[in-house]
Amino acid sequence: MLLRAGDIGVLLAGGGIVVALAVFAWSGGRGDTVVIRAAGQVVETTALTHAQSIAVDGPLGTTRIEIEPGRARVAADPSPRQLCVKQGWLTQSGQAALCLPNQVSLEIRGHASAYDTLGY
Amino acid sequence: MTHSAIDLPVTADDRRIARLAALAIGLTLAEAAIPSPIPGVKPGLANIVVLLVLLQHGWRAAAWVSGLRVLAGGLLLGSLFAPGFWLSAAGALASLAVLALARHLPARAFGPVSLSVLAAWGHIGGQLALAGAWLLPGAALIKLLPVFAAAALVFGAVNGVIVARLLAAPETDRQTPPGIATGARKR
C-alpha cells in the first residue's frame, strides 16, 4: 500500500501549512491607507478605496496627490527635481514618496506595517 | 624492505553502507545536472536511498549514507566546504534529526510518504536556518519559505511514493537494494 491513513493526513496538513505560509509571507504587503503629511503634520489619512485627488499646500506651492483603488501617487509637485513625482504609483505598505522642498510626504500603510517608524 | 600494512577489518555492514552511499552520490551527481528555476529547489533523489536505508537497515546506517553522500558529493561537485556544501550538510543533518523522531511514528498509519515529506521539510528547514543565520542575515528569506515548502511537499511526496514502490518490490529484489541489484549480481 503506497499511501497509508497517516500519509494522507501528513500531505493534507502539509498542503495547509504551505498555504498558510504563503498567506503569512506574501500578504500584508499591499497597503490599504495613505497618510499625507505637510511640514511633518498629518493633513489627511484616507483609505485606498476610491479614486480622488487631494491638493496639499506647501512653501513652494500646491502638491497634487492622486489616489486610486489600491494605489496612490504624487501627480504634480512644484519641486525642481520632481523626484516624488517620478516615483510613480505606490502600492506596497511602507512605501513613501517625499517632496522635500515642498515638505509634503505620501506614505502607504497596510494592516501590518513594514516598519515601526521612519525618520527622514 | 619493510612493508607494514594496517589491516582494517571490513564488515558486511561497511560494504553495504559504501555501496548504498555510492548509489546516493550517483543520484546527487545526476541531480546536479538537472537545471532548476530556483537555486535550492531540487528533487532530492538521494533522499530516496537514505530513506530506503533507514527503513531497511536503521537510522545509523542512514546517517552514514547521508553523511558520506554530502561529503563525497561536495568533493565530486567541487563545492567541498563552500557555502553550498554547508547548506547541504545542514539540510542533511536536520533531515536526519527529523527522521530520528519520525521513524517512531506508528508504521501502520505513517508510511514512507510521511517520512519522506517530513525529511524534505527537515532539509529545507536546516538549509534556510543556516542561510538565514549565516549567509543572508536579514534577507527576506521568509518570502521564499512558501516556495521551498511547496517544493519539499511535492518532491517529498513523489520520493516517498518511489520508496514505497521499491519496498513493495518482490522479496528477491529486496535482498540487495533496488537499483544496484543487477550490478551486484554480475559479480
Q: What is the CATH number of the domain that holds B137?
A: 1.10.1760.20
**8 Å CB contact of B157 and A17:** no
> CA-CA-CA-CA torsion for B124, B125, B127, B130, nearest 10 degrees?
170
Sheet (strand A62-68) strand order: A52-57, A62-68, A71-76
Mean pLDDT of A16-27: 86
**8 Å CB contact of B143 and A2:** no
The complex's ipTM?
Answer: 0.80
pLDDT at residue A120 greater than cutoff 90: no
Chain B residues whose CB is inside 8 A of the A112 CB are none
User: How many domains does the structure of chain B reveal?
Assistant: 1
What's the CA gap between B177 and B169, in Å, rounded? 10
What's the CA gap between A17 and B150, in Å, rounded? 9
Chain A to chain B, count of Cβ pairs less than 8 Å apart? 65
Looking at the structure, give the CATH architecture of the domain made up of residues A33-109: Sandwich (2.60)
Domain hosting B92: range is 12-182
- Every domain of chain A and the residues it spans: 1-28, 33-109
Question: Which residue would you say has higher pLDDT here, A31 or B47?
Answer: B47
Residue B163, in any domain of the structure:
yes
* pTM of the predicted model as reported, rounded to 2 decimal places: 0.70
pLDDT at residue B40 greater than cutoff 80: no
Residue B2, in any domain of the structure:
no
Residue B161, in any domain of the structure:
yes
Q: What is the DSSP letter of A59?
A: S
pLDDT per position as a tens digit, B73-108: 999 999 999 998 999 999 999 999 999 999 999 988
Provide the percentage of residues in chain B whose pLDDT is more than 70: 88
The beta-carbon neighbor of B146 closest among A1, A6, A25 is A25
**8 Å CB contact of A10 and B142:** no
pLDDT at residue B187 greater than cutoff 50: no
Is some CB atom of chain A closer than 8 A to the CB atom of B141?
no
Name the closest residue on chain B to residue A26, using Cα atoms: B143
Residue B6, in any domain of the structure:
no
Residue B7, in any domain of the structure:
no
